[in-house]
Amino acid sequence: MLSRTADCLYWMARYTERAENTARMLDVNHQTSLLPQPSEVLEQSWKKLLTISKLEGAFLSKYDVINRENVLDFMIYETSNPSSIVSCLYAARENARVIRGKITSEVWETQNTTWLELQRILQTRHQADPSRLLEWVKHRCHLFRGVMYGTMLKNEAFYFINVGTLLERADNTARILETKYENETTLGKTYKTKLNDDGSDGELFDFYHWAALLRSVSAFEIYRQIYSDQVTPKQVAELLIFNKQMPRSLVSCVNELIPLVSEVKNQQSKEIERLLGKLKASLDYSDIDEVFAQGLDEFIESFLERINHIADEFSSAYLIPLAVA
């Protein structure tokens, strides 16, 4: 397979997954922002959403105030933001258009229809209900994935699409966990005190904070099935890091990546297999107590560094160098 083709398949999948992940985070933040809470808490929650994607600087260069309306506009519609939903869906569609011969007509039509429907939505963007729009984005991304699994051969094209999806998903889950946990540990006590001073329930705020994290990765119901008790930071982290049955957990993403890389093995892929094997071993032979003893933030930073290094190595081995692209 040509590097150009592999590159388009890989980035089509990454941008689609990124659009879905962004929609998930925005929807959860939008819903929780409607709850009674101090203005400082509300502003910080929107700021943290920008921090997850490393976009705070880009946002402040265009907007003066961090609030719900501005962040939603920036993360959904702003074309100068490469991680906005509009930018991601456009990039996914353009990559799909380039390699139409390597995907089925159903996959192409799904991506193309998503983009065409989005154009109609953009015409009435100021009247659009954010929750309804974000649900539509998640539905279209789910549809793309379902059509891909249902119509494509399990060949190299299929494998490159899945590698892109899993690398993006692992990165996103780790960033959400890191940022939400940092928010809780550094600012949570102060905010809960203010909530109690205002006559509201700080413990209830704590529950909604962690429940929102779980909902952003579709894990709230799964959490209830496994633990069936109160939502605690330690159990949330255990589910999102170590549970092999949880589709968006870190260990699940790494485990699924290993056989995919072996399917597209070439002379340059040995280093990628070695890095993935070491990352899998570090997850398999660790547990949540060890992670918290080390520090969850340090563990997540290390994971992000390693998974992004693997993504860089994968790009070097199979895809078009960024300098050329």
Summarize pLDDT for 102-114 with one digit per residue, the tens: 999 999 999 999 9
Q: How confident is the model over 194-204, as pLDDT tens digits?
A: 444 444 444 55
Task: Identify the segments of the chain with pLDDT beneath 50.
Answer: 186-188, 190-202, 323-325
Q: CA-to-CA distance for 146 and 143, rounded, in angstroms?
A: 5
Residue pair 72/25 in contact by the 8 Å Cβ criterion: no
Residue pair 66/47 in contact by the 8 Å Cβ criterion: yes
Q: CA-to-CA distance for 70 and 17, rounded, in angstroms?
A: 23
Segments in 34-67 forming alpha helices (H): 39-52, 56-60
Segments of 148-305 assigned E as strands = none
Q: CA-to-CA distance for 238 and 210, rounded, in angstroms?
A: 13
Q: What is the pLDDT of residue 311?
A: 95
Residues 6+ apart with CB under 8 A from 221: none
